[in-house]
Amino acid sequence: MEEEEEDRLSNDELMDDWLIESIKLYNNLHAFELQDPTKVIEWTGEKSICVAGFKSGGRSEILELTLPQKLCAKEDQGLCPERDFKMEHGGFSERPIYCLKHVQGTRLLVSSGPPDNSLQIWQIGVDDSDVIRLLNCINNEEQNNHWSKIATSAAGSPCVLHGTHVKNLQVTEIESTKNVFLPGIASVDLVSSLEFLSKDAFLLCSVRGQMWLMDMRQQKVVAAQDVCALPAEDFYWCMGVERRQPDLDAVPCRVAKLSSTGYIFVSDVRNLAKHMCQTKVSIPSPVAENKFMNVSWAPALDNNIAVSGFSGSIEIYNITSWHSTDTEACPMFVHKGHTVLEDRDKGEIPLVTAHTWHPWKPRTVLSAATDGSLQVWEWR
């Protein structure tokens, strides 16, 4: 008991040290503990996010949380004492949630996860209650036991682009569950990331780093990027598309592609064949699969990219400082909160599972880790 107490005290001191350091590093810092870790943080409104459990064997919860008042206040932030998240809605899922997307302008969510590639459609707040209810299931024409990647579009009638492999991608109308478009791209690679760029165009990235820009009106691939000519290793790739505030509807211009060994390539979506710039970022070790790999663009800053999934920290880069893949890029800022702040039993250092940028507050990021922590931080 004495030893335990001592350990707790010295752990406290280490935390105190980091917190005092953090006063210089952060404007704002909030740390929360969810009951179950999440690998999704999805915005469902200006002030709300959804998180969901992904444990296998047993139910997972989907929760819609409203942001603390203090984070939403545009003026007089000092007069807001509220620093807590509020659980507004919740639902139970029989399967773990690996991917969760909100359909903008609606109260619908689309999720996917093992054991198969079907999608689950949810409605938030049925009958003015706090329930997130399962409405429907959408099956892929080609059923298999991988989990689907998802992108949603609300332009016109809400649709979802989904699939496990490039060749089985389909665009399905949510209400009718009818397919409205089949890209029919002949590649057997697994899909890594999907994103709608506009009502009619979407970008897709395979796990091998190949990208296609598809125009649904013209019904053809209008731009493509090949697999990178890099030393042969088992790379996994994912992508992040830039969306500029305030005009979220404008066609985004750039896409960043991240590999499991830390390479990042940036291209203009209108000219995918070329790389605009590239670099290699320092990572503790390559990850075996792209389970938590994440790269994203800051909506309220210029040229800022966040990278996570390789360790317990999140790195922010400014791409204008990149030269080539020969020299490792230096992050502008590293958030270590997940490795320091939790009162956990000694043992594993948590891995960051997800991160997302605040839609309009510059330099503000929300991140989650395998120990159930959820942090909101704004660096100086």
Partner 1 sequence: MPEIKVTPLGAGQDVGRSCILVSIGGKNVMLDCGMHMGFNDDRRFPDFSYITQNGRLTEFLDCVIVSHFHLDHCGALPYMSEMVGYDGPIYMTHPTKAICPILLEDFRKITVDKKGETNFFTSQMIKDCMKKVTAVNLHQTVQVDDELEIKAYYAGHVLGAAMFQIKVGAESVVYTGDYNMTPDRHLGAAWIDKCRPDIVISESTYATTIRDSKRCRERDFLKKVHETVERGGKVLIPVFALGRAQELCILLETFWERMNLKAPIYFSTGLTEKANHYYKLFITWTNQKIRKTFVQRNMFEFKHIKPFDRSYTDNPGPMVVFATPGMLHAGQSLQIFKKWAGNDKNMVILPGYCVQGTVGYKILNGQRKLEMEGRNTLEVKMQVEYMSFSAHADAKGIMQLIRMAEPRNVLLVHGEAKKMEFLKQKIEQEFSVNCYMPANGETTTITTNPNIPVDISLSLLKRESVPGALPDPKKPRIMHGTLIMKDNSLRLVSSEQALKELGLVEHHLRFTCRVHIQDPHSEQDTLNKIYSHLKTVLKDSSIQHLPDGTLMVESILIKVSTASEDPSTKILLVSWTYQDEELGSYLSTLLRKGLPSS
Instruction: Kindly tell me which of 31 and 135 has the beta carbon lying closer to partner 1.
Output: 31
What the block records as the tokens of 136 is: 């429907």
Q: Compute the distance between CA of residue 350 and CA of residue 246 in angstroms, rounded to an integer.
A: 34
Contacts of 159 (CB under 8 A, 6+ apart): 152, 153, 171, 172, 173, 174, 180
Are 112 and 93 a contacting pair, CB within 8 Å?
A: no
- Classified as helix, coil or strand, 257 is strand
Q: Taking the CB of residue 337, how many other CB atoms lie within 10 A of it?
A: 25
User: Contact between 347 and partner 1 (CB under 8 A)?
Assistant: no
User: Contact between 336 and partner 1 (CB under 8 A)?
Assistant: no
Q: How far apart are the first and last CA of the chain?
A: 40
User: Contact between 92 and partner 1 (CB under 8 A)?
Assistant: yes
Q: Compute the distance between CA of residue 83 and CA of residue 30 in angstroms, rounded to an integer.
A: 8
Q: How far is the CB of 216 from partner 1 (least distance, A)?
A: 37
Are 355 and 306 a contacting pair, CB within 8 Å?
A: yes
User: Contact between 145 and partner 1 (CB under 8 A)?
Assistant: no
Are 49 and 42 a contacting pair, CB within 8 Å?
A: yes
Q: Compute the distance between CA of residue 374 and CA of residue 177 in angstroms, rounded to an integer.
A: 34
User: Contact between 87 and partner 1 (CB under 8 A)?
Assistant: yes
User: Contact between 43 and partner 1 (CB under 8 A)?
Assistant: no
What is the contact mask toward partner 1 in residues 7 to 36, using x (rule: CB under 8 A)?
A: --x-----xxx-xx-xx----xxxxxxxx-
User: Contact between 3 and partner 1 (CB under 8 A)?
Assistant: no
Q: How far is the CB of 343 from partner 1 (least distance, A)?
A: 8
Q: How far is the CB of 36 from partner 1 (least distance, A)?
A: 10
Q: How far is the CB of 266 from partner 1 (least distance, A)?
A: 34
Q: Are strands 211-215 and 201-206 parallel, antiparallel or unpaired?
A: antiparallel
User: Contact between 135 and partner 1 (CB under 8 A)?
Assistant: no
Q: Taking the CB of residue 45, how many other CB atoms lie within 10 A of it?
A: 16
Q: Compute the distance between CA of residue 244 and CA of residue 301 in angstroms, rounded to an integer.
A: 8
Q: Are strands 328-329 and 277-281 parallel, antiparallel or unpaired?
A: parallel
Using CB under 8 A, which of 53, 91, 240, 331 touches partner 1? 91
DSSP-assigned beta bridge partners for residue 222:
none
Q: Compute the distance between CA of residue 371 and CA of residue 36 in angstroms, rounded to an integer.
A: 8
User: Contact between 129 and partner 1 (CB under 8 A)?
Assistant: yes
* Number of residues counted as binding partner 1 (CB under 8 A): 43
Using CB under 8 A, which of 6, 7, 73, 83 touches partner 1? 83
User: Contact between 94 and partner 1 (CB under 8 A)?
Assistant: no
Instruction: Kindly tell me which of 22 and 117 has the beta carbon lying closer to partner 1.
Output: 22
Subset of residues 349 to 378 that bind partner 1, contact rule: CB under 8 A: 374
User: Contact between 68 and partner 1 (CB under 8 A)?
Assistant: yes
Q: How far is the CB of 5 from partner 1 (least distance, A)?
A: 7
User: Contact between 90 and partner 1 (CB under 8 A)?
Assistant: yes
Q: How far is the CB of 97 from partner 1 (least distance, A)?
A: 16
Contact segment (CB under 8 A) with partner 1 among 79-87, 212-220, 252-260, 286-294 equals 79-87
Q: Which of 144, 178, 147 is nearest to 162 (CA)?
A: 147
User: Contact between 5 and partner 1 (CB under 8 A)?
Assistant: yes
Q: Which residues bind partner 1 (CB under 8 A)?
A: 5, 9, 15-17, 19-20, 22-23, 28-35, 61, 65, 68, 76, 78-92, 128-132, 341, 374
